[in-house]
Structure 1
Amino acid sequence: MRFIKGLAQDTLKLLERIHKQSKHHQVRQRAQCIKLSYQGYQINDLMKIFNVSRLTITNWFNDWDEFSLIGLYDRKGRGRKSKLNDEQKEQVKKWAKENSRNLNIVVKNAREEWGIYISKNLIRRILNLFKVSWHRIKRGVAGQPDPIEYKEKKEELENLKRQEDAGKIDLFFCDETGFCLIPYVPYAWQEEGEEIIVKTQRSKRLNVLGFLNRKNELETYIFECNINSDIVIACIDKFCERIVKPTVLIVDNASIHTSSFVFEKQEEWRQKGLTLFFLPTYSPELNIIEILWRFIKYYWLDFDAYNSWQNLVESVEYILRNFGEEYIINFS
């Protein structure tokens, strides 16, 4: 039976201090293991105490015998050598980005190119080294705005915000969205072994048209039918009843906003103090109400909202009703 022997009193005191004060967990373990072995603990006992294999304990003893206190610390060059050099790792990253949803292709390329097998776990570790992570692919708009129009419209929008800040006008953003029982919750913090399941169900669609300003003042209209130009016009007519000063309404170029019926109403709305400002195409980031829809879908709706149609309707209505007090977004 193997034991550590011949430790001086000063060495024991140093081992005790390392065991209590070292910032490295493995170093603390090894210092305690050497001390316990000197005190008569057998290897089988040490294996249970530190939850390691016999080979690990033996390696700790060998390092102590050969290097003394220095043997408690990991030395450069220890551990399994990497299968891949730096250039190959760069190539793995390139292949992974080209085939981001199928790492089997990267495995295949490595076998064909270099004649070696690399596991998907190794590929993930290499990607982590390059700070490449697995996360949601964001949905984008179908096209790009005209750069000149975008610049001009953005400058006009900033000018409108300054006028609102000066108290000259009211500025509201208008848009529509929809909710159904297909959840918008792909990620959640879960304990190991736990699995949160949100059932996906076919359902009708709850459509919302909203008017929002940067002060978290929100007016919404909820429908279980499709929103068309007639509904948009009716909602804007209703919105005009609240106007107390010149008001600009920001809208995108959706067909229900640009129909001939909407254009025919613009002069009537101007007489009531309301002017429509149309955003450039493919520019949802300029409409702050898009942020509200995203917060509701991805952050504020609880899992149980998707248990039934009634739960969904009640949950959406609750958030919309309490927006500005319980639910707040900083648009500054």
Structure 2
Amino acid sequence: MRLGARYRRIRKRPRGIPSPQLYAYKTQKLQELETLYAKGEINLFYGDESHVCTEGYVPYGWQFPGENIYIPSERAKRLNIFGMTSRDNSFEGFCTSEPIDATKIADFLEQLSFGLDKKTFVVLDNASVHRNTIIRQRRPIWEKRGLFIFYIPPYSPHLNIIETLWRVMKGKWIRPQDYTCADTLFYATNRVLAAIGKGLRINYAHNAA
């Protein structure tokens, strides 16, 4: 008997609910930034952290009859990523085996602020690492150089298109066999990140709303 259900990926969703008033205000402002970006008047990046880990992100893979594919058991190794992408698939970011803290993000944005060709907005969520004291202290300096941070409303990850990039990167561009050891996984990750906007592209069709 068919029940009408479909086999689909189960997504994580934040526990909280954004304030309707704040959500409406922020989405309107974000849409205004999108319009300016579409006209070529500003740069608009969406940023966030992610990571890859040797402890099996991909639990299933295609195997031929009689073939068994194994991922060796070892202490998990992790590569942390801070990345920013635009709707035209421009990508900026860095990778590290160390935890990503506010100092690393601030240093990255500091370097970015020196080479801007127009006003540049970076969309971030409200994680504490994005609102740390060092970020707050440097924002006025960055804004004088043309770099601005725009915070999306709490509990609204769907407004950040880089979540789509991380999902496609881990679920499609990085292959199951790349997880066999840390060296191959980290090499594959860096290869994928370098190819974004060149050989690898995403059609970010959905609007920020």
Aligned to 2:164: 291
Structure 1 residues 197 and 136: CA distance shift in structure 2, 3 A: farther
Equivalent of residue 51 in structure 2, options 178, 181, 185: 178
Q: More relative contact order in 1 or in 2 (CA 8 Å, sep 6+)? A: 2
Give the C-alpha shift of residue 219 in structure 1.
1.1
Q: Distance in 2 between matches of 1:277 and 1:166?
A: 19
TM-score norm. by structure 2 comes to 0.90
State the SS of the aligned residue for 1:139. Answer: coil
- How far apart are residue 168 of structure 1 and its match? 1.5
Provide the C-alpha distance between the structure 2 equivalents of 1:217 and 1:182, rounded to a whole number of angstroms: 29
Structure 2 residue 41 is matched with structure 1 residue 168: yes
Query: Which stretch shows the higher mean deviation, 138-147 or 242-251?
Result: 138-147
Q: Displacement, 1:243? A: 0.8
Shift of 1:302: 1.1
Of 169, 175, 180 in structure 2, the residue corresponding to residue 302 of structure 1 is: 175
Structure 1 regions of 5+ residues with no counterpart? 1-125
Find the counterpart in structure 2 of residue 140 from structure 1: 13
Summarize deviations over 1:20-59 as a string: whole Å, max 9, x none: xxxxxxxxxxxxxxxxxxxxxxxxxxxxxxxxxxxxxxxx
**Which secondary structure state, in structure 1, belongs to the residue aligned with residue 128 of structure 2?**
coil
Higher strand proportion (structure 1 or 2): 2
Q: Is the 8 A contact 2:72 2:181 kept in 1?
A: no
Corresponding residue number in structure 2 for 1:272? 145
Q: Matches of 2:10 and 2:72 in 1, distance apart?
A: 22
CA contact (8 A) 1:175 1:209 kept: yes
How far apart, in 1, do the equivalents of 2:72 and 2:79 lie? 18
1:313 counterpart residue number: 186
Q: What does residue 249 of structure 1 align with?
A: 122
| 2:83 partner amino acid | G
Between the aligned partners of 2:21 and 2:73, the Cα distance in structure 1 is 43
Provide, for residues 102-125 of structure 1, a one-character-per-residue CA deviation record: whole Å limited to 9, x for no partner. xxxxxxxxxxxxxxxxxxxxxxxx
Cross-structure match for 2:86 = 213
**1:183·1:200 contact (CA, 8 Å) conserved in 2?**
no
Q: 1:258-303: CA deviations, max 9, x gaps? A: 1122111110000000111001011111111111111111111112
Render the CA deviation track for 1:79-116: whole Å, top value 9, x for unaligned: xxxxxxxxxxxxxxxxxxxxxxxxxxxxxxxxxxxxxx
The root-mean-square deviation of aligned C-alpha atoms, in Å, is: 1.8
Secondary structure of the residue that 1:155 maps to in structure 2?
helix
Distance 1:248 1:326, change over 3 A: same
1:134, distance to aligned residue in structure 2 (A): 4.9
Largest Rg, 1 or 2: 1
1:176 maps to a residue whose letter is E
Query: Between Structure 1 and Structure 2, how many residues are aligned?
Result: 205
Offset of residue 192 of structure 1: 6.3
What amino acid is aligned across from residue 317 of structure 1 in structure 2? N
Give the TM-score normalised by the residue count of structure 1: 0.58
CA distance in 2, matches of 1:202, 1:283: 34
8 Å CA contact retained: 1:198, 1:303:
no
Seen in structure 2, the aligned counterparts of structure 1 residues 308 and 151 have a Cα distance that, compared at 3 Å, is: same
Task: Give the superposition deviation at 1:242.
Answer: 2.5
